[in-house]
Homo-oligomer: A and B are copies of this chain.
């Protein structure tokens, strides 16, 4: 059996008795082809089972029909990341609608390795890139400019003029969390922040500070966690050593909060009876915990969709939508409650 070579546009042209150009016009729905001819061409294409060759199309259109996302992070951490799969799902659904693919790269090994991947992608592999995990003085801003590759920042860059961006204001949600705790009567509210340097770590911490300040509460203890939850456990233990001990802890991620709750449970500290806990992300298990976790939700899939739309606009030469999407919002469940003692120390019942 001879290997049935995939039909090319030439085969379709011959079959329909027209030229290559006519086929191209007909299939891209452009004027200049008589209706009857167009119908004949479409029939031929269907009959032969012709599908445009992606490589040829990419070359002649000078477009890769794909977007790139480079994640510079130890691959193992992706398993514990709340943002990654949902953002990806959002991006993907949007790109699929217009026949674009997502080219994904996970790169470990420092800025040089990362830059090398950007260079590879810029050489016609993708039409644009998403920049996630923004940090202060992000070197990728220079990089994409030098590489002349369209880019979209996911989150608000420190210099928002430099690049189009789409962000979810997580500060609003974090502030709502602190206000919620203040309303419940908490005066000693600690914070476990995320990886230092990332803009969302900063924005969440600043929101926490703002919340305390507007309530006239001195800044409470703050410790630093990281991507996985393990640091959340350690951070929690160090907070418990504080004197006076915090009555509430605002974590920068659900995973750290979950790890923290385990430490509290192991120490015999009731949540929310003795200490209130707030997470961030609203991961799938958050509502399944005991107690269900009060947390801050952001619609990450919608974020992904919006980011994809913006990047598509950029690469298509249109004006991209840029700025904030719906802000993150507080989801109150059962891990927050009034603090154990009436208010402050004045009722020195201790």
Chain A residues engaging chain B, CB cutoff 8 angstroms: 6, 51-56, 58-59, 62, 64, 66, 75-76, 78-82, 84-86, 88-90, 92-93, 96, 99, 101-108, 117, 119-120, 122-125, 228-229, 232-233, 255, 258-259, 261-262, 265-266, 283-285, 288-290, 292, 300-301
Question: A96-B105, A262-B288 provided; 14 other pairs, C-beta below 8 A?
Answer: A51-B122, A55-B55, A55-B64, A56-B59, A75-B92, A78-B86, A79-B283, A79-B300, A81-B85, A88-B104, A92-B104, A93-B106, A102-B104, A229-B288
Are A54 and B123 neighbours in the complex by a CB distance under 8 Å?
yes
CB distance from A292 to the nearest CB of B (A): 7
CB distance from A113 to the nearest CB of B (A): 9
CB distance from A53 to the nearest CB of B (A): 5
A-B contact pairs, 30 of them (CB 8 A): A51-B122, A51-B123, A54-B64, A54-B120, A54-B124, A56-B59, A56-B124, A58-B59, A59-B59, A75-B90, A75-B92, A78-B86, A79-B300, A79-B301, A80-B285, A84-B85, A88-B106, A93-B106, A93-B108, A96-B106, A96-B117, A101-B104, A229-B284, A229-B288, A255-B284, A258-B285, A259-B288, A266-B290, A285-B285, A290-B290
